[in-house]
Structure 1
Amino acid sequence: MVTAETPPRPTTGACPNCGGERLTPVRRVRVSKARVAADLAHCTSCDFLFLADPTWLDVAYEESFYGDTGYVDRNLHASRLLRLLLVIGRLGRFGASEPGCDLGTGLGMLPRLLRDHGFDFHGTDAYAAMELIRPFCGPPGDGAIGCKTAFEVIEHVPCTPEFLRREVGATPLFVFSTLMRPVGEIPGPDWWYYAFGNGQHISFHSRRSFEVAMGRAGMDPAWLVCIDGPVHARALHLIAPSARWRRAFRVAGALVNRGLDGLLLPWLEPLVGLRPRIIPDHYVAMERLRSAAERPPCP
């Protein structure tokens, strides 16, 4: 029988975060509803903590949102932060921050909230139907994307450098959340963020390990800003080459955590020309349904 305290097997292979081979086995655990045995390993070179060889992910995502009790609250707070950040960018003429795309959007709540307040945001998710954001699923056209977001996605990604290269790339503004461990700390087996029961969380970064991932993805670690969320420290993050965006993120985070966005946004959003997309989006959705119904059936 494998328990949270079962001694792990020796960990072999390279670290998926830095490519190093200084891997230390931490403990063996059971993950997902299938109770698959998995090894928690720590890279002493880059401080990355991860579940090795995650072969159980198809089973884990059969119930995508099971146990994700923070989904609604997280998206409400994220929408407030992004609305204020993007408004500051418009006021300061920092450069194009739209269209935007929410990676791993789930039901599509975040882009729906942003569109309701006038922002041109879309969503993508390989494991969800994105009911709330249809028909604005998928990347927004062939042009450049001004802002990408990924709330509670990084801990699901087996190789962060590859994710940053492929999904973020040269995007000027990337806002995301993941709970970062203090550098060098390996939480005990009962740490809630492991969420071994559903088996979806496989990567547990510290700031040090994440900066290593950025470097391997061709990004300057100085572009990273980490701020506290409303509940957890070191939970909200931004990657931006522009120092103005980094300063704006700190300001927006401080104002939102104090609830001051509720006083500012009702008059700032109309000031920068934002108008709700609720009714226009309804017409787009109805037109796409009509067009689909009028297509001839396949022979």
Structure 2
Amino acid sequence: MVICKICGNKMSEYGHAEILNKYDITYYMCEQCGFIQTEDPYWLGEAYSSAIADSDIGLLSRNIMLSKNISGIINGVFNDAKTFLDYGGGYGIFTRIMRDNGFDFEWYDKYCKNIFAVGHERKRMHYDVVTAFEFMEHLPNPREVLGELFACADNIICSTELIPLNKPDLNNWWYFCLDHGQHVSFYTEKAMIYLAQMYGKYYARCGSTHVFSRSHISGYKLSLCCRFPRLVNKLRRRASLLPVDYEALTGKKI
């Protein structure tokens, strides 16, 4: 019997699909929370031969968009927050942009080289806010990794697509990403709420952006911050850390 890695209940076979154009994989769906997971992902070593998939051509535009939206959420919902970590931060693009926007972000990624945020690798044990984008779907053991995040942050902002209500065919929903095989866990809102309750957090979301927080957040307020980030950021503008970072690297002032 296959057990759900979110709520521990029984899972049923959801279907089969070919990953990396060579491996026939079984997918399972939880009968309780609707979470979908693959069979034991033995192919991940091959899938991560490149940490960033070649097909992820939206990497730059996504980071630019995220920097605006997440700045709006932090300024509008977590305005008192001072320390930030981008977990699974890839090449460091998001961390660099956020520092340019005045947020003291640090970077962490177990699999990818930091290119754009050198000198700002993780130094603290605890943060006010941790971000993790396009990350949760990569986790073979989500409860274990999320436990690490909840242990080092009061609040978590992450992004992942929720499973559509029509229970999509494995070959028709793009987010299954069969070509690169890195996506192995897929969530419902019910599964997200279960995770929040497990770790004593509140849960709110706006589209594919999910917030786990120490204190209750109004869904309406979160929605406003997501819809009008430019206005929120204009009202609560922060001084860029670019001059400070440049001086730390070079010993010279801009």
Please, what TM-score do these two structures have when normalized by structure 2? 0.88
Which residue is 1:132 aligned to?
Answer: 116
- CA contact 1:89–1:245 (8 Å) conserved in 2: no
Match of 1:193 among 175, 178, 184: 175
Q: Does 1:265 align with 2:233?
A: yes
Distance across 2 between alignment mates of 1:244 and 1:237: 11
Distance across 1 between alignment mates of 2:75 and 2:205: 20
Q: Does 1:164 align with 2:153?
A: no
Structure 1 stretches lacking a partner, 5+ long: 1-11, 229-234, 288-299
Q: 1:168 to 1:182 in 2, by over 3 A?
A: same
Tell me the secondary structure at the aligned position of residue 46 of structure 2. helix
Q: Does 1:13 align with 2:8?
A: no
Shift of 1:60: 0.8
- CA contact 1:164–1:214 (8 Å) conserved in 2: no
Q: Which amino acid aligns with 1:61?
A: Y
Q: 1:176 to 1:30 in 2, by over 3 A?
A: same
Which residue is 1:55 aligned to?
Answer: 42
Q: CA RMSD in A?
A: 2.2
Which residue is 2:190 aligned to?
Answer: 208
Q: Which amino acid aligns with 1:254?
A: R
Tell me the secondary structure at the aligned position of residue 14 of structure 2. strand
- CA contact 2:205–2:222 (8 Å) conserved in 1: no
Distance across 1 between alignment mates of 2:4 and 2:76: 39
- CA contact 1:106–1:130 (8 Å) conserved in 2: yes
Q: Does 1:275 align with 2:226?
A: no
Give the greater-gyration-radius structure (CA): 1
Which residue is 2:222 aligned to?
Answer: 249
Shift of 1:264: 5.3
The alignment-based identity, stated in percent, is 22
Q: 1:48 to 1:264 in 2, by over 3 A?
A: closer
Shift of 1:124: 0.7
Q: Does 1:227 align with 2:206?
A: yes
Q: Which amino acid aligns with 1:227?
A: C
- CA contact 1:31–1:37 (8 Å) conserved in 2: yes
Distance across 2 between alignment mates of 1:76 and 1:246: 24
Match of 2:249 among 269, 272, 285: 285
- CA contact 1:161–1:214 (8 Å) conserved in 2: no
Which residue is 2:158 aligned to?
Answer: 176
Q: How many residues align?
A: 249
Q: 1:89 to 1:206 in 2, by over 3 A?
A: closer
Match of 1:82 among 70, 86, 90: 70
Q: Does 1:141 align with 2:130?
A: no
Higher strand proportion, which one? 2
- CA contact 2:88–2:132 (8 Å) conserved in 1: yes
Deviations 1:176-228 (A, max 9, x none): 11000245x42112210000110100011110122223333x234xx111112
Tell me the secondary structure at the aligned position of residue 48 of structure 2. helix
Q: Which amino acid aligns with 1:282?
A: Y
Which residue is 1:240 aligned to?
Answer: 213
Q: Which amino acid aligns with 1:175?
A: I
Deviates more, 1:22-31 or 1:188-197: 22-31
Q: 1:123 to 1:170 in 2, by over 3 A?
A: closer
Distance across 1 between alignment mates of 2:196 and 2:140: 14
Please, what TM-score do these two structures have when normalized by structure 1? 0.76
Distance across 2 between alignment mates of 1:45 and 1:245: 27
Tell me the secondary structure at the aligned position of residue 127 of structure 1. coil
